[in-house]
Chain A
Amino acid sequence: QSVLTQPPSVSGAPGQRVTMSCTGSSSNIGAGYDVHWYQQLPGTAPKLLIYGNYIRPSGVPDRFSGSKSGTSASLAITGLQAEDEADYYCQSYDNSLSPNWVFGGGTKLTVL
């Protein structure tokens, strides 16, 4: 069981908008810790997609956006493309067992 909860899967057609959630608790996201997002293409290492809740690193298309509210965060992808098919993970910090950086279980995005 991951500390951060993500839906196992989401799907959308090319060109559509999809969102995926990341739900935490008062010891992690709700405590004010930032959320970061990673994209993992099949057979590769995770790649930073969003940091500091909503900031895109250089080179990441503006089709990807992040937000955070309360004990949850969300990743949105607009103008869905076939190459977006991947696993997406959220990450934050949990102060119940210090030090402890925690991840969500991941969401598999399928582009129909």
Chain B
Amino acid sequence: KAGVTQTPRYLIKTRGQQVTLSCSPISGHRSVSWYQQTPGQGLQFLFEYFSETQRNKGNFPGRFSGRQFSNSRSEMNVSTLELGDSALYLCASSLQGGRTDTQYFGPGTRLTVL
């Protein structure tokens, strides 16, 4: 079974631009969570989607948004990029995002904001 895939793997943007990252979960997984990883803040939870609905959201500004499609693929969007948005963005999929589910991570998208 194929693992979690993320595209693109690397992105370079300039301040003020917007960016869209994509995540394809493991086949059969319906929950997708997104995390931001930086050297200073570590791994922080952004949001979780299940059946095209956002069920949980971390403490990030409204510039960070996401969505999920009927095939469980998910995208996250960051508008009006700031230098501090430079990070590795990881997505993780699980069966239903519930208490017994283990999250499986993708390789990440490295975003650099200049």
A and B part of one assembly: no
